[in-house]
Chain A
Amino acid sequence: MAYIIQGDTGDWEIVIGLEVHAQVISKAKLFSGAATEFGAEPNTQVSFVDAGFPGMLPVINGICVEQAVRTGLGLKARINLTSVFARKNYFYADLPQGYQISQYDQPIVGEGELILDLPDGGTRTVGIERLHLEQDAGKSIHDMHPAKSFIDLNRSGVALMEIVSKPDLRSPEEAGLYLTKLRSILRYLETCDGNMQEGSMRCDANVSVRPVGSTELRDRCEIKNVNSIRFVQQAIEFEARRHIDVYEAGGTIKQETRLFDSVKGETRSMRSKENAHDYRYFPDPDLLPLVIEQSFVDGIKAGLPELPDEKKARFMAEYGLNAYDAGVLVAEKASAEFFETVAKGRDSKMACNWVMGDFFAALNATGKTIENPPVSAADLGALIDLIKDGTLSGRLAKDVFALMVETGKAPSVIVEEKGMKQVTDTGAIEAAVDAVISANADKVAQVKEGKTALLGWFTGQVMKATQGKANPAMVNEMLSKKILG
């Protein structure tokens, strides 16, 4: 999937690395017992520890550690049995302690990998550099008062996993696929809800460009806190173009932090990265090194769910699905489960077609979610059964499905109520066929003269006459017998 930008001086490629901040699903913060619920009144979920009061000490929340290990295992990464929390010192109003407790040179999770599912059904592996635990800062609100800032410490101390990719991504699309896949894995693991609107998953994109064929890594710019996959892609595209323009005009790119303006679709300088060199790190003396046992890791490993990649492979093997369909179905755990319920004991290709076709269309049209679907998996399965046993033709089934969406009723109930049963009674079909033949003697003659394509028209007439209930296969057979002998 080569993504090349043509410049005036030649072809360029983009080098992208992503840093994702994923909020850990846990009831309490990383170092205090305070709650973590989204959307609470400002400063109602703050302990003295989170507010950095004198004498307060951090105590590691074991659940957050478990979640980080779980995520690391999901990313096929090395788990470090000893890791160290460090203080990252810098002053900011919403950083109550004056430092952030993070992990620096000894993170809890080391190198791993993530597999991108490409649109053509292929895959590509992207390296994960590390995953470390850190606490979130509070939130400053600057637009409530002309001279004052308001600080909400509800998020202060919330556990984040910073997941850093290697600079392996080469296009905005790949960045999007990476985020989609990462979110899918996090949701499968139930370690982060992946909700970018609520800020529980945020992305910083590191972007640089280089002439095609070159292997150097040029100075990169970091685009901070982009909160949707689409915006990440737009930001990368804009930033890459900007770099190329600067280079081609003979300029240089300075390493800096930038913000993405989603209204204008452009990035702009936020602060020079010079300050970053001055972050003062040292091991947090309030926390001993975090030492976990291999048995703890093994226990978590044993409890891991089937992850998207494995599920996809199984869907292809077990249900004979192609890579694309399998990839779509497994992207969300709930849709994979939905499919499996529908497919159980039935024709899996038919199940796949119905789920990915009419069912997904109905999801979109109704705005409902897979967790609260417009048609239950059991009802959709029952509908497929009605097709299989000949009660419904494919065409009737589509009508029944539409009524299922509309009324929420089971397919058998609808068939019963509306008398939508397929007619397989030979006598009834024969009567309809005879009626159509006798009313269209001229066309019968044409068929006999060799215009056999007209047979389809006859079928349509019979189906119309029977309100679509006649079994089309029987109609076809009878027509050709009666007209062609």
Chain B
Amino acid sequence: MTKLTDLTMAEARDGLAKGAFTAVELTSAHIKATEAQRHLNAFIVETPDLALDAAKASDARRQAGTAGSMDGLPIGIKDLFCTEGVQTTAASHILEGFKPPYESTVSGKLKAAGAVSLGKLNLDEFAMGSSNQTSYFGAVENPWKKTSAPKAKLVPGGSSGGSAAAVAARMVMAATGTDTGGSIRQPAAFCGITGIKPTYGRCSRFGIVAFASSLDQAGPMARTVRDCAIMLGAMAGHDPKDSTSVNMAVPDFEKALTGDIRGLKVGIPKEYRPDGLSDEVAKVWELGIEWIKAAGATPVEISLPHTKYALPTYYIIAPAECSSNLARYDGLRFGLRVPGKTLDEMYKNTRAAGFGAEVRRRILIGTYVLSAGYYDAYYAKAQKVRRLIAEDFRKAFESVDIILTPTAPSAAFGQGEGTDDPVTMWLNDVFTIPTSMAGLPGLSLPAGLSKDGLPLGLQLIGRPFDEETVFRVAGVMETAANFTAKPEGI
């Protein structure tokens, strides 16, 4: 029999239903895995005791016939989601020790569906970063290794790096992520797993520590397309506590996995083939196009002319919103306080000590672009460009049903590489950011391995609130890709 930690959620769900094993057994196996993989630094807080209690309660529910859609399935929660009574830090010193007296809507819905949380997963500080090296609690290590340099530690991607690493290393069956400019999709690609950023408004943001409110969106990260579909079903839905969450029914995403994509038109944007795109990535993309053709869909070349402006625009809007969202960390009501002789000095001391370099950089940029003299030159203009980017997609979707692109320009890189130049670091999100700017659903799935044995991801972008088509195409591609590789030693 397959190891319990190698099961997909769908398989584990069936096993639990048949009584092949209990939630306590399943949870215990994953707790052991988290202990064995601690060197990856994927968790900020482990909650094994709470998990076992939850697993016992799940077994009781199953006995009583009241099990939910994710009952007994061990997952991890990105430490950006507030969890009642369990430390929530956003990987920042400024929130160290903060135990929210409330639960985020999404983590609360997962609990309500019966999911068992093993703890809080590491991330880039306040979700700012593409390599998970900005966490106050230390970098997360990717469980994958280069065949050419098996000792080198690789980044898992960011910001949901802890989530991606924990899922890839079989510590949890799935995890929550949040995606602002690619923070679910890029780490999913780097760690060889699947993750979807749903349409903005599909999941509630209530209780998620805000980074850039107009972009932040929660989504599932798991090892299969089906598992993502199961989990998104449990996470999504209207929340009266979030004015931007959309009041529309949540479809049965799993049912969308029909395996039939005949007749669909798949857009291939020419702008996603920039100079210097790695050959390996270009090759995997070509492969992906072959798979969809073989399945009866038609690739169509499309143009998204404003793609090149997406990255600079994002790095105006996201920091602007972050500078405002992070103003509340002032040392007055919760988290860190470093005293000062005056109020201003206390603010300065607290924020200087509490925020890391990347967070400070973005706050400064955001404060600058919003300041009265520069607002029109930067923020107002960026909002206009953002509308043009969204319009590109809207026009494209008049002729295609879905868009296929690479997820990231390269495979995972080594810890410490490129971190001296923040702008190089920001380029990692060049393929994911336009989708975020337009609020569209985007899914990354593993499509192959690089020469160095590292996973490469492909991205599917759908129409607003059409996650079903995204899942349907992803399911077909997943079958074609038959990605069975695992990190060495897992």
Contacts and interface: CB of A to CB of B under 8 A. Distances in A.
Given A48-B102, A282-B320, A98 B328 contact: yes
A56 B204 CA distance: 11
Interface stretch (A85-93, A381-389, A421-429, A470-478): A85-93
A373 to B, nearest CB: 46
A58 B243 contact: yes
B253 interface: no
A60 B242 CA distance: 10
Interface stretch (B21-29, B206-214, B298-306): B206-214
Interface in A373-432: none
Contacts of B90: 54
How many chain B residues sit at the interface, stated as a range, is 35 or more
B243 A60 contact: yes
A204 B218 CA distance: 44
Interface string A41-74: 0000000100111111111100000000000000
Nearest to A98: B327
Interface stretch (A229-237, A283-291, A313-321): A283-291
A54 B101 CA distance: 11
Q: Chain B: interface secondary structure?
A: loop
Given A52-B333, A54-B95, A55-B104, A97 B243 contact: no
A280 B324 contact: yes
A276 to B, nearest CB: 9
Given A54-B100, A59-B240, A286 B213 contact: yes
B372 A53 contact: no
A285 B321 contact: yes
Interface in B74-114: 81-82, 88, 90, 95, 98, 100-102, 104
Contacts of B104: 55
B333 A53 contact: yes
B162 to A, nearest CB: 18
A436 B468 CA distance: 110
Interface in A132-187: 149, 151
A51 B82 contact: no
Contact of A288 (B208, B244, B324): B244
B381 interface: no
Contact of B328 (A57, A60, A96): A96
Contacts of A38: none
A282 B372 contact: no
A58 to B, nearest CB: 7
Interface in B187-210: 205-210
B206 A280 contact: no
Contacts of B344: 91
Contact of A91 (B81, B241, B330): B330
B333 A96 contact: yes
Contacts of A93: 330, 332, 343
B278 interface: no
A99 interface: yes
Interface in A256-292: 277-282, 285-288
Q: Which among A96, A149, A279, A285 has the highest number of chain B CB atoms within 10 Å? A: A285
B103 to A, nearest CB: 10
Contacts of A48: 101-102
Interface of B: 81-82, 88, 90, 95, 98, 100-102, 104, 205-210, 212-214, 240-244, 320-321, 323-324, 326-328, 330, 332-334, 343-344, 347, 367, 370-372, 375, 379
8 contacts: A54-B100, A57-B242, A89-B324, A93-B332, A97-B327, A280-B324, A281-B370, A286-B244
6 cross-chain pairs, A with B, having the tightest CB-CB distances, nearest first:
A98-B327, A285-B214, A285-B213, A280-B370, A55-B207, A52-B328
Interface of A: 48, 51-60, 87, 89, 91, 93, 96-99, 149, 151, 277-282, 285-288
Given A53-B328, A59-B241, A288-B243, 13 more contacts: A48-B102, A54-B88, A54-B95, A54-B100, A54-B209, A55-B206, A59-B240, A59-B242, A60-B243, A98-B324, A285-B213, A286-B205, A286-B210
